[in-house]
Structure 1
Amino acid sequence: MPFVIAVLAAAVLFGTTGTSQALGPSGTTPFAVGVMRLLIGGVALAAATAIAARLRRRRSAAPASPPLTAKPLALMALTAVALFVYQPLFFAGTSANGVALSTVIALGSAPVMAGLLEWALTRTPPSRLWGAATALSTVGVALLGIGAGDSGSADPVGLLSSLGAGASFAVIAVAQRRLLDGGWHPLTVVGAMGGGAAVIALAALPFSDVTWLTDPRGALMAVWLGLATVAVAYGLFTWGLGGLKAATAATLTLGEPLTASILGIAVLGERLGALSAVGLVVLGAGLALLAWGSRTPRPFAVEG
């Protein structure tokens, strides 16, 4: 159960991302916001990992780390690239179609993609519980999306951006799960992803207009997005993933569109139709079903 709670807590933090950007100053771009989010969050994750690794080395009984061969190195690099790509795609979606609809599409598509990808790689089909909970949650997500789109037609480029963000998140979940199965510690996995993404973001910084950071709202937005929605949220997600299947963890992150929809309505004044209200209830029921069925944790190997 602690693993489920950790992923759900991460989903709530993820769910504040779109609203935080919407409350930020004018003049921001999806690319620049994503770059600053990763620079701050990625560096924080890498620093936390380095400190934790030093503390673990002081324990004489700590097991040895797995060898850093080509396969885990490639998976770590893949998570870093996927995390970087996720940023502009997600923010482009929210800019085009609003926080509620775009978040619903991005994270609503991720569990199905993650389940299919994990099935293809492991040749093990997802459990019936996951299938039932994901189907129920997907119906809720669909109702939320239809209700959120009642105010007008959705921008097709924004829809594709949101779907791309969902695919990126699915890749992160599956790749991290394989690293954890290989004996890598959750902090090492998330630190490698965050540090690698920060390096990519640093290379992209000269091509980003970040003058909005001089606005106090812009600085506060960047710090929150970096520390809360990357460093803390991905730390919780990766730790929780250590006790769950990738498909299960991805479904639990549907708490993000649930949170984003509530914030979009309560904070940003986005409209909630009857279908959206029903969708919130159905989505919550799907998450509750999966959380109840995942009470027995799946242990993970821990490196030194």
Structure 2
Amino acid sequence: MKKAESASDTLKGMLAIVIASFLWGTTGTAAQFAPQISPLAIGAFAMGIGGVLLCVSARKSLVKDVPILFSTPLTFLFGSACVAIYPLAFYSSMRLSGVAIGTVVSIASAPLFAALLEYFLSKRPVSLKWFISFIFGTLGIVLLAMGKTQDASALSASKDDQVFGVILGLIAGLTYAGYSWAAKQHIDAGAHSKSAMAGLFGCAAVVLLPSLWFTGQNLFDNAINTSVSLYMAVVPMFLGYLLFGYGLRSTDASKATLITLIEPLVATLLAIFLIGEVFKPVGWMGMALVCLCLFCQSVTFPIALKRFGRKATA
């Protein structure tokens, strides 16, 4: 009975992360409809207001779990700093290198960083199933990036901007993995998932929201900018991270970030059909490999493969 409940909880957690990833996959495309807004402003507003909404929705459990969050202050501060840095790096990466590549680099690198954090900080070995899935996912992401056809605006961008965009994407991947790992540590320590996410995001909002004084002058200039800003804060950030926190209850951070590889897949499809970005056939092969990666995470491997995986991590 307990095994059945555990399997059900795991499935629900994975489904919550998948839905969150779908919501996050819309952020890059939404941001493109408001190009007048600075990527720093859109990131700070979305994560900042999202953090405030998370704190309001989790106020009762947050007050109760404050001692748990503060029992490991370095983990809490590390996670909060990662939340604050992530949107600034992520949206700037997309602005410099394009929606598809910016999202791909940021999200594809996160599972590797998450696995490294769990291995070195939590002393948790990497399973063979995760490794196989990561190989499929990484190869798929590389093919996705190769499949992007350069348009006129991309060709006019300097190589320095492209390189800097990729570097910012890697920073976004590291910080994404960082706050996922920190939230998981708090949840494992006994904090409610809402409290863990609200605490980290609320602390980051203290830094992010004041920065809008310098960058947020175009946030509400017209109806489109206002709609994009509010959508980003309420739907992908608030609702998305509620779902992600719920999923972390039964899912390791390395596995959760691996599942979120569906985000660049969604972002790529939206970039193709809504923004008009063109993809070569190799890009579609990459999409198939990302789907295969997600499939590997959602099925049970044969017992023999499980045994081999245990030996490999022993």
Alignment TM-score, normalising by the size of structure 1: 0.88
1:24-55 superposed Cα distances (whole Å, 9 cap, x missing partner): 2x42111111121123211111100115568x
Aligned to 1:264: 271
Partners of 2:62 and 2:199 within 8 A in 1: no
Inter-partner Cα distance in structure 2 for 1:186 and 1:292: 25
Aligned to 2:23: 13
The answer to whether 1:245 aligns with 2:245 is no
Inter-partner Cα distance in structure 1 for 2:297 and 2:18: 11
Q: Matched residue of 1:233: which SS?
A: helix
Q: Matched residue of 1:160: which SS?
A: helix
Aligned to 2:184: 177
| Consecutive unaligned residues in structure 1, runs of 5 or more | 55-63, 295-304
1:73-130 superposed Cα distances (whole Å, 9 cap, x missing partner): 3323322221111111111111111111110111000001111111111222111111
Percent of residue pairs bearing the same amino acid type: 26
Partners of 1:66 and 1:182 within 8 A in 2: no
The Cα shift of 1:199 comes to: 1.2
Partners of 1:12 and 1:256 within 8 A in 2: yes
Q: Point out the more displaced range, 99-108 or 198-207.
A: 198-207
Q: Matched residue of 1:210: which SS?
A: coil
1:213-236 superposed Cα distances (whole Å, 9 cap, x missing partner): 121111111111101111111111
Aligned to 1:300: none
Write out aligned runs for 1:84-95 (5 A). Answer: 84-95=84-95
The amino acid across from 2:139 in the alignment is V
The answer to whether 1:224 aligns with 2:224 is no
| Consecutive unaligned residues in structure 2, runs of 5 or more | 1-10, 302-314
Inter-partner Cα distance in structure 1 for 2:12 and 2:48: 29
The answer to whether 1:274 aligns with 2:281 is yes
The Cα shift of 1:171 comes to: 0.4
Q: CA RMSD in A?
A: 1.9
The Cα shift of 1:187 comes to: 0.7
Aligned to 1:298: none
Aligned to 1:43: 52
The Cα shift of 1:72 comes to: 2.9
Partners of 1:38 and 1:198 within 8 A in 2: yes
Q: How many residues align?
A: 284
Inter-partner Cα distance in structure 1 for 2:214 and 2:81: 17
Alignment TM-score, normalising by the size of structure 2: 0.85
Partners of 2:110 and 2:176 within 8 A in 1: yes
Aligned to 1:59: none
Inter-partner Cα distance in structure 2 for 1:188 and 1:231: 13
Inter-partner Cα distance in structure 1 for 2:221 and 2:66: 44
Inter-partner Cα distance in structure 2 for 1:78 and 1:122: 15
Inter-partner Cα distance in structure 2 for 1:107 and 1:165: 8
The amino acid across from 2:58 in the alignment is T
Inter-partner Cα distance in structure 2 for 1:174 and 1:52: 20
Relative to structure 1, is the Cα distance of residues 97 and 23 closer, same or farther in structure 2, using a 3 angstrom cutoff?
same
Inter-partner Cα distance in structure 2 for 1:98 and 1:33: 16
The answer to whether 1:138 aligns with 2:148 is no
Relative to structure 1, is the Cα distance of residues 149 and 179 closer, same or farther in structure 2, using a 3 angstrom cutoff?
farther
Partners of 1:129 and 1:293 within 8 A in 2: no
Partners of 1:76 and 1:189 within 8 A in 2: no
Partners of 1:106 and 1:163 within 8 A in 2: yes
Aligned to 1:291: 298
Aligned to 1:81: 81
Q: Matched residue of 2:72: which SS?
A: helix
Aligned to 1:128: 128
The amino acid across from 2:38 in the alignment is T
Inter-partner Cα distance in structure 2 for 1:111 and 1:159: 16
The Cα shift of 1:71 comes to: 4.3
The amino acid across from 2:262 in the alignment is G
Aligned to 2:102: 102
Q: Matched residue of 1:27: which SS?
A: coil
Inter-partner Cα distance in structure 1 for 2:69 and 2:50: 26
